[in-house]
Copies of this chain bind each other. A is one copy, B any other.
Amino acid sequence: MILSALLTSVGINLALCFLFFTLYSILRKQPGNINVYAPRLVAEEKAQQRGRFNLESLLPTVSWVKKAWQPSEDELLSIVGFDAVVFMRILTFSLKVFSVAGVLGVFILLPINFVGTQLNEDSVDLQNKSLDSFSISNVNDGSNRLWIHFCAAYVFTGVVCYLLYYEYNYISSKRIAYFYSSRPQPHQFTILVRAIPIPSGSTCSETVESFFIENHPSTYLSHSVVRRTSKLQGLISDAEKLYRRLAQLKLKNHTSQRFGRDGFLGIFGHKVDLLDHYEKKLEDVEHNVRLEQASLAGKEVSAAFVSFKSQLGAAVALHIQQGINPTEWITERAPEPHDVHWPFFSSSYLKRWICTLLVFAACAALTILFLIPVVIVQSLTNLEQLETWFPFLEGILSLTVVSQVITGYLPSLILSTFLSFVPPIMIIFSSMQGYISHSQIEKSACIKVLWFTIWNIFFANVLSGTALYQVSVFLEPQKIPSVLAEAVPAQASFFIAYVVTSGWTSLSSSELFRSIPLLCNFFKRVFSGKDDDEFEVPSIPYHRDIPKIIFFGLLGITYFFLSPLILPFLLVYYCMGYIIYRNQLLNVYAPKYEAGGRFWPIVHDSTIFSLVLMHIIAIGIFGLKKLPLASSLIIPLPILTLLFHEYCQKRFLPIFKAYPNECLVKKDKEDLNDPTITEFYEKLAIAYKDPALSMQYPRSTDGHNSPLLHSA
């Protein structure tokens, strides 16, 4: 790619960004869009309803940037929760890393690359210069200037490791502090027990009760047995919908609207009194609910939530093998009550294991299927190949603008479109693996999406660029450095375009501007003609955004000394991300459940991976550049990095897995002195009862709230 193609791409995306920023700053002030741009504030009833219309609201302003900038970290913590703070720290960490990298890269490495003569470019015209002349490929073979790159690799690794350590330390101490400051919560006192061996003639409930009274006499509090309620929950949500429709009909009071057809979409079928019709239907459903509830009381799964009087009590039951047979009485940390989610829950180990294998196979299949868009994208960047495949395109492709759009903008647009389907698919895969909570599913999906992205975007593009998909290289480990060293620098321009398209534009269009929710909201208002006040406050999709941020980090780290031109673009991305995500966290997203900062170790691990990948490429590059001494002197660097990683794993990871005894004892003492603790115990005893089982009848359709929501 030549410089002007890159500039075209940057120009298009910059224009798009400005467009979305402007539109956002106008549309956010329109009252009709408040559910799109400030659902969190609406839910907290903080958003002021503005007057119907004034001219000022049509002028773009930047006041939101200031508002998003202002809150300190502690304020953020109290407003958006710990996970969001950790998320913001990922961005500030990346900003720090790439500020250092940017200074080193742009002011030291870039000039060195540029004055090299290895590529012997004929064109002296800057605009037509290939982007390769800014990369390490342009430095002359065997030149001593490469030692500067060598030093840069060492210095940069040192800086990144220092920042990683600092951040891990900071976040883990914050995690402990957050734990101390939190009010007692049910999930801290509860564990999930599965594979309960029920003796014949006894129920699950009795078995659990007697086992824990026997073995945890001083700390056992209560338990609730798990039941399969998916069918019941379906019925209840049907009843909810019917009830809501009934309430709406009653409010309208127009008899004209009370008649409709009972068939498909209200268009076909007999004309009936809708009020009667829905009431009859509702009665049917409610009858079924009662029947199902009665039958479910017996349908116990051999699993139960067991609550304890102290957090230490729960930790003891969690960490020490309970039964003599280790495949029975398997304990697991309980998720928050509203976080529980197990469409694929099974108390059998074997079933879960098979599911994991199936999910693994499905991921592999998805990876292979994803090769199709990758191949398309790569054929677009190699225009000559495209011309030989489709000769009739020759005429169009010879136009400069068209070819620049095609090589500069289209490929990464296609890739990022396809990539946007991956996170929801991975969520489905992860939920099939038998995790018991939304947050665990999200974390597992996050890891899946991350590796999928690294493999399918980085490796597939890099390796298909030279010769289509040289997977076989991974079977001959000694060849990896040289193959990567040859292939990676060649894709620098593609990845710069990728950062601009998939980073800048998609950040402003989908994250800030929220184009899809905006459109949905618009159509809802136009077609249903009502201001539906039942809307859900979204939670931030960590499994979509964290892998993206990490992946840009990987690009930055690996290209840091190969092609430093990428660094300014990344810095702009992270700056935009910092402001936009802060704004969205404050206005749009509400935390649904707390994972206690458990996403940080993923970031740490993948940063280490990026560093080691950079080192491996460096070994190859110095070999190619005929500087074998530098090539061998780089070897200690990955070893030291991995040792550092090993140390961090030992030093910090356990804190993210479980709270230590010291903390639990201290917290338990504080809790015991809390005057509300007995009240809390009462709440705890019913926290994990399935709400579906405790709905009460007879219902009353007069109140504004659904009676189905009154729990016993």
Contact = CB atoms under 8 A, between A and B. Distances in A.
Interface of A: 176, 214-215, 315-317, 319-327, 349, 650-655, 658, 660-665
Given A176-B324, A322-B660, A323-B662, 13 more contacts: A315-B320, A316-B316, A316-B320, A319-B319, A319-B320, A320-B660, A320-B661, A321-B660, A321-B661, A322-B661, A323-B661, A326-B655, A327-B651
A326 B651 contact: yes
Nearest to A319: B319
Given A316-B316, A349-B650, A650-B349, A214 B665 contact: yes
Quickly give the copy total for this chain: 2
Main secondary structure of the interface of A (DSSP, over half): helix
A324 to B, nearest CB: 5
B316 A660 contact: no
A325 B663 CA distance: 11
30 contacts: A176-B324, A214-B665, A215-B662, A215-B665, A316-B316, A316-B320, A316-B661, A319-B319, A319-B320, A320-B658, A320-B660, A320-B661, A320-B664, A321-B654, A321-B658, A321-B660, A321-B661, A322-B660, A323-B660, A323-B662, A324-B655, A324-B660, A324-B662, A324-B663, A325-B651, A326-B650, A326-B651, A326-B652, A326-B660, A349-B650
A322 B653 CA distance: 14
Nearest to A649: B326
A332 B314 CA distance: 22
Residue in A215, A325, A661 with the greatest tally of chain B CB atoms within 10 Å:
A661
A322 B658 CA distance: 11
B324 A650 contact: no
A653 B326 CA distance: 8
A322 B666 CA distance: 12
A478 to B, nearest CB: 11
Contacts of A326: 650-655, 660
Contacts of A315: 320
A300 B662 CA distance: 24
Contacts of A324: 176, 655, 660, 662-663
A650 B320 contact: no
Contacts of A654: 321, 326
A315 B317 CA distance: 11
B323 A215 contact: no
A661 B316 CA distance: 9
The 9 A-B pairs at the shortest CB distance, nearest first, are namely: A326-B654, A321-B660, A319-B319, A320-B661, A215-B665, A322-B661, A319-B320, A316-B316, A321-B654
B327 A650 contact: yes
Contacts of A660: 320-324, 326
A176 B319 CA distance: 19
Given A650-B349, A655-B326, A215 B320 contact: no
Contacts of A319: 319-320
A655 B660 CA distance: 24
A141 B661 CA distance: 67
Contacts of A327: 650-651
Contacts of A661: 215, 316-317, 320-323
B176 A662 contact: no
Contacts of A323: 660-662
Contacts of A317: 661
Nearest to A217: B665
Contacts of A214: 665
Contacts of A664: 320
A326 B651 CA distance: 6
A322 B659 CA distance: 9
Nearest to A218: B218
A316 B319 CA distance: 8
A665 B219 CA distance: 13
A686 B161 CA distance: 47
Most chain B CB within a 10 A radius of its CB, from A316, A349, A662, A664? A662
A325 B654 CA distance: 9
A652 B319 CA distance: 17
A317 B316 CA distance: 9
A173 to B, nearest CB: 8
A372 to B, nearest CB: 30
Contacts of A652: 326
A707 to B, nearest CB: 44
Nearest to A353: B646
Nearest to A652: B326
Contacts of A658: 320-321
A651 B655 CA distance: 28
Contacts of A650: 326-327, 349
